[in-house]
Amino acid sequence: MDLRIGGKTAMVTGGTRGIGRAIVEAFLAEGANVAFCARSTQEVADTELECAAQGRVIGTALDVSDSTSLNNWVESTAAEFGGIDMVVANVSALAIPDTEENWYRSFNVDLMGTVNLAKATIAHLKDSEAGSLIAISSVSGREADFASGPYGTMKTAIIGYMAGLALQLAETGVRVNTVSPGNTYHPNGVWPGIETGDPELFDYALGLNPTGRMGTPEETAASVVFLSSPCSSRTSGANLLIDGALTRGIQF
């Protein structure tokens, strides 16, 4: 299927590893230009180099909790590529333990990073014929689980924020959606650390997956890129679960 995003420009936060890296590569595979960011200068440089053969890609080292740097990145991307068509707010502090510091980190990175990215890009997305804004939440934002402290609470807030934004922007043609992955296993991710550090929790979480396994970043990325594309032109205001039937609640 031709997703009709060849030559269009996508922005992805947290694009050097896990789901974010897979999203960057999936956009490139469809012929899109990609601008991505992450905090580590070395990881950004390595990712840009490794992805260069796949298409036009530019990485920038920044902290999304710094709204000035975030705005500057958006404007430089729009100038470099001549516009912005698709935006994915993916980055997370992954601050799961219930500490005061993690509440502030989750608020500043997960929630305000999403809000500020949306505010910085909306004007550009309105100028696109295929404007799409997606935030990566989590099943922890939909159901109570072991991560229901700062991490889960901010992921819930993201779903609510994006739903309201979808309604506000509907008449402009800009589509706004949320994607909520379930347990996703990848090198340097949360779950390998839990597997070795807390095997009881890992076994419990794995047992909740009726498929008998956790997901991969590529499985989430494929849905994100399709949802971003004009092929999904009627989808806005949705929270797309990609969890292998992990969650039990019915979405009305």
Catalytic residues: 137-138, 151, 155
Do 140 and 147 touch, CB atoms closer than 8 A?
A: yes
3-class state of residue 40 by DSSP: coil
Residue 30: CB partners within 8 Å, gap ≥ 6? 3, 5, 6, 225, 229
Rounded Cα distance, 162 and 143, in Å? 17
State the DSSP H helix or E strand holding residue 59, giving kind and residue range, or none if neither.
strand 57-61
CA neighbor of 120 nearest in space, from 156, 76, 158 = 76
Residue 26: CB partners within 8 Å, gap ≥ 6? 218, 221, 222, 224, 225
- In 10 A of CB 13, how many CB atoms? 26
Residue written as token pair 């996508």: 10
Residues pairing with 176 in the sheet: 133
Rounded Cα distance, 237 and 228, in Å? 13
CA neighbor of 145 nearest in space, from 57, 80, 192, 207 = 207
Rounded Cα distance, 240 and 178, in Å? 6
